[in-house]
Every structure is written in C-alpha cells, then in structure tokens.
Structure 1
C-alpha cells in the first residue's frame, strides 16, 4: 500500500496493497533489526543480480500506485521516488551498500561546524542541453527552505541559515547550529539538483504530467499518461559512463491491484518490480517467469501509539502489549516468513556508519527485550491497572498482511486484559492519521512501515523529539530530546553513535511506538532483464540504468 509522508517520514499504509536468489552475499536469516526470528524461514540477501549481457531497447516496470507529482520537493513516497531516482540526481549518492559517495558534487568539506562547502561537478548537462552551474544548485536547495513551496523535505533544512554560490562551481551552506545529519540527506531527495531556469519557467506546473522535469540523470522524462503509464528515455549526454543506461526506454505502468501485479510478473506483461506482495513470495520464488530477490532495507513495521492520554499512556502497558504480540507469527503468516522480529525502531543497517560490528554490538547490547510471553505480559498489565479498558486500533481493508497484523495486535490486547476495538476506515482517512491530529482523536494504535533515507538512526529518532511533526502521540522525554540533540551536534562518529544509542535505549524502555518486525527489500526480475542491485537505495540511486539484457 502506498506510504505517503508529510513533511518528513510519515511512512504510512494507505491506498494500495503493500509489500510492500541467484547471487547471494550472505545466506540464512537476515538480521535487519539486530536479532533474528528463530522460527522465521531462512532467506537470502543479495548484493547484486547477475551482470547483464548487453543493451535493451526497453523494459517495463510495475508501480503499485501512480505518482501524484515527480517534483522532488514532494517526492516523499515510493512511486515518485522510484521513478525520479533515475531522472534527477543529488549532490551526493546513496549507494546500494548504503554508503555515500560523490554525485553532482565531486567533493565536500566541513571547514567549520556550521559550514558545508560543495565543489560542483563540471561539464554536466541537463536534459535540455544546458550546463549545470552553482546557480542551479542554489535554486534547487533553496526550494526546501521556501514556505511557499512547502517542501516535504524541509526537516533536513531546519538548521540551514543560508545557501549561497561562492564560486561558479562552488556552493556554501551555512548552518545556524552544527548538524551531523545535514550532509547525509544530500544523497537523497533533499540534495536534488534541477535547472534553475526550468524551475522558474514551470512554476507550479513543475513535475506534473504535462511538464515533467529537466534534470541530469541517465534517463530523461519522456511522457506521462495519467492513470496508465510514465515513460523515461535514455539520456545519451549523461556524464557518468559507469551508469550510462543500458536500456533505451523504461515504461512504468501503474498496477494498484496486488493480484494483477503478480499476474503481470508471471505473464511477462511487466519485466520487473519492487515491493513484491508478501503473499506471493512462495509462488514467485519458484516461478519460471523470473527470479525473486531480497536486499538491504531500513524498514521497520511499527504500531504507532497515537494516544498517550488513554490506557497506553502507561509505559508498562505498552511493554505488556508488545510482549503479548506474536511477532514471529505475524512474520510467518503475514510476511511469507521473510523478516525478523525488530529489537528497535531502526534496522541494523542504520548503524553501518557507526563503527565495526563489534563496537555497535557493544553500544546496543543492553537494549530491553520483549519476547513473546502472554502470561508474563498479562501480569505486568494487571500490575499497571489494566482491567477491561478499551483500546482502539485503526486499520484499513488494504491487504492480507494488514489484516493479519491488526488481528494479532487485537489478540494481544485481549490477552493482557484490554478490550480491543478495531476501527476500519477508508484509505484516505487512514492516510489522514499521519497528517491531521484531529483524525487521530480517539485512536490508540495504527500501523506504519517506516524506512529511513539516510544511513543514520537519527532519521527515525528525530521524529520522536518533543513537538516533532511525526511524533503522533506527542510523546516527550527530556533525556531523549537531549540525547538526539547531542547526536545531531556531534560530527565525531563515536560520540554521534553513543548519543544515538542512548536515544534508542530510551525509546525501547518507553516504547512510544511498538516495533514489530523488519523486512528486506523485495525485487522480482523477469527472465529478460538483470543487473540491478536489490537495496532500499533504489529510492534515490539510478537503479534502472544498471538493467540490461539477461542473455
């Protein structure tokens, strides 16, 4: 189902069915959240797929929903980012292994704690043939600061004081206060660079089906037929020979029905797609029509506690509820056995830049654990005063996975002495839970699949600071706020990781959200195509350029 986000990461279940192995880098059960589900089916994470054997004239790709716009300022959801990653580029790149490398900026420096200086790549052409300059970078970044634009990516710019061209190919960003996450965000949509002339000429029509976009990526916008498809064509003037597109054209087709999407994979109507419906994993893993892959992800399925004034306002009750949820059973029944019980609100991948695995293990070793134990959970809830209070769980009739999770949470509520009330709402009303405080009135719990756009746990924990837009239950803890602020201000990796780990420890003690499980990225490639790397980076990295002919 679609997961629109507002302002920053309100990754939500919304309008269509959600998710959403040949070459393997590691095998067995993946450890997305740091602990594995012993009963979960083994699966393999792939770093890549077999190298392509040549070019293609075109290939067809499925999207589970049509983008509302491909304006990068509002591309904060899977469908638009899946497309835009191949058309527009950022100053930095978020790579398949979730590291960051130069993009449209060949170099960057942090000469003072509140200054970032970017050297812009020379000789880069926009799709209309004009040449990239510092002025284009300035115009593009400043849009995220403009309240008249209302960028969904304004959060990463919250500490930005100014963005200025300090040379023909140099841009300097000045911060009001040190921010260790700012530079990392420039490898995602916040760092997107568009032609300043195009932004001015297109105005409010920028990114719509009639205008498209004019960027620097390996593919250019060709056409968009609302309700049907969006077509990209190879840009032969692309600057990076390593990522020159192997296909002459990519056609994205909008298939909102999960069954139709799986059938399209099987018949060859489409050549591939991300976010494979979990209830089709078994079917597609043995399909002669292609290959199912799993890759790196930063996604955690959570129950958001939207009401901290009711019975769930007591942390002991939240702990009891999590302990009573059969999370391994959810993975088995709702995620095709592909996933792991989450031990925090972020995956282990989010800590990749925080030192060695041993040092990270040391930071995270004392996290509270909530193993499935209904009897102990009931005793804890009774001690906290639970005695038949009603707990309202919001859901929407979207797919079997959503239904399974909702039922499991309701059963857990019953097991600890609560009276669950399932409030089934339409998709648009469910989406409103993430945008409108009034829509959350009377709702105690609602489901989300929350991913991060940078390799840093602060992309999640910043959302839970007091007063943050995505802090839906208005949770507040002064020690947590202080830990996040300390981590944001710490450029030293060790100090940054230590402060972030403290913030994580507090969330797992207080449980403002209930982490359920982690799941890998899923990818299906038909028998015509290969070459792409399965990774959550596909939202910002030009993945389609890697796809070529299989044989």
Structure 2
C-alpha cells in the first residue's frame, strides 16, 4: 500500500493509459494520453559519471534484505544491488535475468537454468545452492519475509545441477514464475546469509548480491552509498556511474530546492506539488511514465462503516474524479474502474482477454448524489463518522482525502483524517494493532509483477492477511484459485476476469485514480527508465552523462 506485496505491492485495463506507443529517434518510447506525454525510457546516456545523488521521497528504508523489501524506498535501492532470477522490463514484460531459460517438464515442475558466468561482489561464483538458499529461506518464519504466500503451493526447491534449480509444486502455479522478477526472486550468497543471520540487509549486516552496484555504506538518517560493480555479468548494463548516493528528503519544499539547485540529481515518485515547480525548470526534465500504481480507499476492519459495499458505492458516486485528477494529480493520472492498472497486463500474452473483461465492467460512475444517499440509507451504518488514515507529510493523499471529505458530507458521512507517521502508516498493513481506532486507509498501492491475479487475491482471499474485512465470496475465491492453477495464459485470464466482474460489485473498495510515474532527471543525466517498472529493475545501471565527458 505503499505496496503490500504482489506483491501489494503493488496494483487495468485496455484503455487505462490509452497509449499508442511510438518510438523517437533517440530511443525514447513515448505515448500521448491527452493530458501528458508518457515516456517509458529516456534518451540513452553516452558519458560516464563520478557520482549520482538520488533521493528517496518516501524516506529511509528499514531494510534492504530482498526477502523483506516491499515498499518504495527499499525496492528503489535493492533493485540495483540484488539481481532477480527473471528481469522486469520497462513495458512490464519479463526477460531472462540470473536464469537464462525456464521450462515446465510437467504442470507441477519448473526448471530454471542459471547463468554460469555470475559472481557475487566478493568474487564467489553463483551456483544453484545460492538460489535454493535465497528462495527457501523465505518460508522460514524467522526470516520475516513479505513473500511467504508465494511458497504456498511449493512442495520442494532443489539444486538439480550446479547451475540448475528445480521447483516442484503441490498444484500448478502460474504466478510463481512471475514472482521471480521481484524481491522474492533476488539471489544472495548462501554462506553470507548464514553468517549474517537476522542482521542481513541492515546497516550492520550488509548484503552479498550480484547486482550492478555494491552496497558500500549506510549512514542511518543520512544516506546509503553504493559503488559500481566493474565485473558485473551483464556487460550491457555495467554502470557508467562510479558511485550512487541515496538521500532521504521527504519534505516537499526541501526536495524542490535540492532538485532545482542540482544538489540532488533525480528522484522517482515526484509529488504533484513538486512536479509543478519542476515542470518549467531548466535544471532538468520532468518525465511522466506508465505506472502500475493505484490510489484507493480501503476499510480496515469488518466494523468499519465502509465494510458495507453499499457505503463504498455511495462514496464512489459522489466523488468527482475528473476534478480530483485535475486538481490533485495535476492531470497526471487516470480514472479506474478497478484497483488494477492496465500496465500490469496490457503487454502480456492474454492482453486481449484482460482488455475485454475490463471493458465489460460498469463505467466509472458520474456524480449522483440522490442515488448515493439511497445506498447509505439502505446500508444504515451504525456510525456515520469514518476515520481514515494517511501518511503525515503526504500532501497528495491529504488533498485527495479533502476531496473525499467534502463529497462524503453531501451524503451524511463525516470523514475524519488521521495522519500517521510513515513507519506507522507502513506498519498498519501488517500489524492489526496499528489499525485500532481506524475505519479505513488512503492506500497508494502498486502491483509488482505482470499479473493482476496477485493483487486481487490479497483483498478477496479469506486466507490473505490483507483481507481485513473478512470478505468471503466463495465463487470469487474458486475462480481465482482456478486461475492460478491454470498454466495457459488465456484460460487463466478468462477465469480472472470472471472473478473480477463479481468482486467489482461487492468488494468494498473505492478506486480513485491511477497516477502516472513522475521522475525528474538533472540535465547532466539521462538513460534511466521513466516507467514504474524501475521498482524491480536495475534502473541506475542505465544512468549516464548526457555528453561524452565524465561528469
């Protein structure tokens, strides 16, 4: 929510971005949405860099352990340090990573052939035992992995050769392979994992991975520094930057000044208020990219007034999304019928099936106050005051909730906005005690892998820790379970869209908008992807100077 893993990780739609891709002469992929121009990549860099300073506007990471990474800041850093078995591309499709080939000898077996020329930062060759250790440890409660659900259908993970790993399943699982593109599939050195124990991924314990940058230092409260891996196995992505320094500026005014002055070279997730100040600046370029992010309101428990889908439908009916997108997101967002943006599936094998299913959903509603009032009266909630949590300092979410607050008042609902510190806000998604006294949360979520099923299950499965309201539609659960167990992409997509048509009617969530990715690059830099796919790809390895000389 900041990304419950898919995580939320993490979060449709044939027409969501309304993109018709084209390619410019500089290699930049762009598309027009009517409001802004979307760019998946930026012009290729040509020069070397001594140092790049990059900001993490969501604050300092708590950990960099790939097994525990499930939020913006840690993922932005870890994606450049720890390579996954499969690599995510800017268009949200998959490509070989540390695994060169994958095959299924039968529906319950997946075989991964590994690269044989990969070494960890300390020079130790990567073998199958490192992959087995990295994946298997996430099933151990002591690891506290955010990916334990990925192993639910796994019967065993073994090294079937020095550079081959075999995964056997109790039931077929079409999602597992896709999870190998995020933190779940990142590979760490087995012996280092054992030595570091619980401190792995912390400032004290460090990391041992194979990525294009190596973790050099972590000064708590100040910065994280990584240095170039000159022996990186992917010669096409050997970094041009010698050093990469991450800062943690969360104040919008301070961030704006630092970007305009060149103190900071760039940042993803630029807030809309900062974007307005940067848009006309000659200090660099503000890029808008396709995104898998979604903003929605979700009830935090079965006693919440919003746990009744009639109340959330009423709230949806009085929300002027056009005005909200224009005024809060500065036009850089799209309205959504569901909580899953189309980038998640629009370039996949079954894109047509997903598009048809989305098109058949009811349209995003126009404002209808009378109908909304009738729904609230039918629901007759015991309480008409709703306390909604958002992160302190998150002006975009605060402005969104102010819109919601005014709309709710028209149908007799009182929205109380409760601002939580970032650690509290992030923690409430995993700790039920932090949700006490709350009725709902303003969620900024994203879908980490190219499959909408992963996100839908988190809110609809009776067994999911994210199903806070105990939603239980047996037909939906059956369809989604079958969808995961089918390895044919089109059949799986068909089952998913059938479930989506059902839960879109009774799952109490208020979809608000799908914001585009916003990235700022200082004029001396280029090369980084502008797509939200950066969250799970080695984006910084593509950074370089705009000219041929070292900067």
Aligned match for 1:53, one of 46, 60, 73: 46
1:75 to 2:69 alignment: yes
Deviation at 1:244, TM superposition (A): 1.0
| Preserved CA contact (<8 Å) 2:525 2:546 | yes
CA offsets, 1:448-495, max 9 Å, x none? 011011111012111021131011222111111111101101111111
Deviation at 1:410, TM superposition (A): 2.0
Task: List aligned pairs for 1:118-129, cutoff 5 A.
Answer: 118-129=112-123
| Preserved CA contact (<8 Å) 2:224 2:246 | yes
Deviation at 1:250, TM superposition (A): 0.8
| Preserved CA contact (<8 Å) 2:83 2:98 | yes
Deviation at 1:78, TM superposition (A): 1.2
Please say which of residues 64-73 and 412-421 is displaced more in the overlay.
412-421
CA offsets, 1:276-333, max 9 Å, x none? 0111222211111000001121111010022444543433222111111122222222
What secondary structure is seen at the aligned counterpart in 2 of 1:248? strand
Q: 1:353 and 1:47, CA in 2 relative to 1: closer, same or farther beyond 3 A?
A: closer
1:364 to 2:373 alignment: no
**Corresponding residue for residue 195 of structure 2:** 201
Aligned match for 2:279, one of 250, 275, 285: 285
What secondary structure is seen at the aligned counterpart in 1 of 2:50? coil
Deviation at 1:356, TM superposition (A): 6.4
Deviation at 1:108, TM superposition (A): 0.8
**Corresponding residue for residue 258 of structure 1:** 252
CA offsets, 1:143-168, max 9 Å, x none? 11112212111121121111101111
Task: List aligned pairs for 1:317-328, cutoff 5 A.
Answer: 317-328=311-322
Deviation at 1:23, TM superposition (A): 7.5
Aligned match for 1:227, one of 221, 228, 239: 221
Deviation at 1:262, TM superposition (A): 1.5
TM-score (norm 2): 0.91
RMSD: 2.3
**Corresponding residue for residue 102 of structure 1:** 96
Please say which of residues 363-372 and 494-503 is displaced more in the overlay.
363-372
**Corresponding residue for residue 524 of structure 1:** 520
Aligned match for 1:410, one of 405, 408, 412: 405
**Corresponding residue for residue 36 of structure 1:** none
Aligned match for 1:433, one of 419, 428, 444: 428
Aligned match for 1:180, one of 174, 177, 189: 174
1:399 to 2:394 alignment: yes
Q: Distance in 1 between matches of 2:486 and 2:388?
A: 38
Q: 1:28 and 1:457, CA in 2 relative to 1: closer, same or farther beyond 3 A?
A: same
**Corresponding residue for residue 136 of structure 1:** 130
TM-score (norm 1): 0.91
Q: Distance in 2 between matches of 1:385 and 1:168?
A: 61
Unaligned 5+ segments in structure 2 are 12-23
**Corresponding residue for residue 43 of structure 1:** 36
Q: 1:378 and 1:106, CA in 2 relative to 1: closer, same or farther beyond 3 A?
A: closer
1:25 to 2:29 alignment: yes
Superposition misfits of 4+ residues, deviation over 6 angstroms: none
Q: Distance in 2 between matches of 1:412 and 1:388?
A: 20
Aligned match for 1:148, one of 137, 142, 149: 142
Q: Distance in 1 between matches of 2:87 and 2:233?
A: 14
**Corresponding residue for residue 455 of structure 2:** 460
Unaligned 5+ segments in structure 1 are 13-20, 30-40
| Preserved CA contact (<8 Å) 1:8 1:470 | no
**Aligned residue pairs, count:** 531
What secondary structure is seen at the aligned counterpart in 2 of 1:411? helix
**Corresponding residue for residue 329 of structure 1:** 323
**Corresponding residue for residue 511 of structure 2:** 515
**Corresponding residue for residue 542 of structure 2:** 546
| Preserved CA contact (<8 Å) 2:29 2:40 | yes
Q: 1:126 and 1:315, CA in 2 relative to 1: closer, same or farther beyond 3 A?
A: same
Q: 1:510 and 1:270, CA in 2 relative to 1: closer, same or farther beyond 3 A?
A: same
Q: 1:348 and 1:419, CA in 2 relative to 1: closer, same or farther beyond 3 A?
A: same
Please say which of residues 154-163 and 390-399 is displaced more in the overlay.
390-399
Please say which of residues 421-430 and 343-352 is displaced more in the overlay.
421-430
Task: List aligned pairs for 1:231-246, cutoff 5 A.
Answer: 231-246=225-240
| Preserved CA contact (<8 Å) 1:244 1:545 | yes
Q: 1:78 and 1:432, CA in 2 relative to 1: closer, same or farther beyond 3 A?
A: closer
CA offsets, 1:248-298, max 9 Å, x none? 111111212222112111000011111101112222111110000011211
**Corresponding residue for residue 34 of structure 1:** none
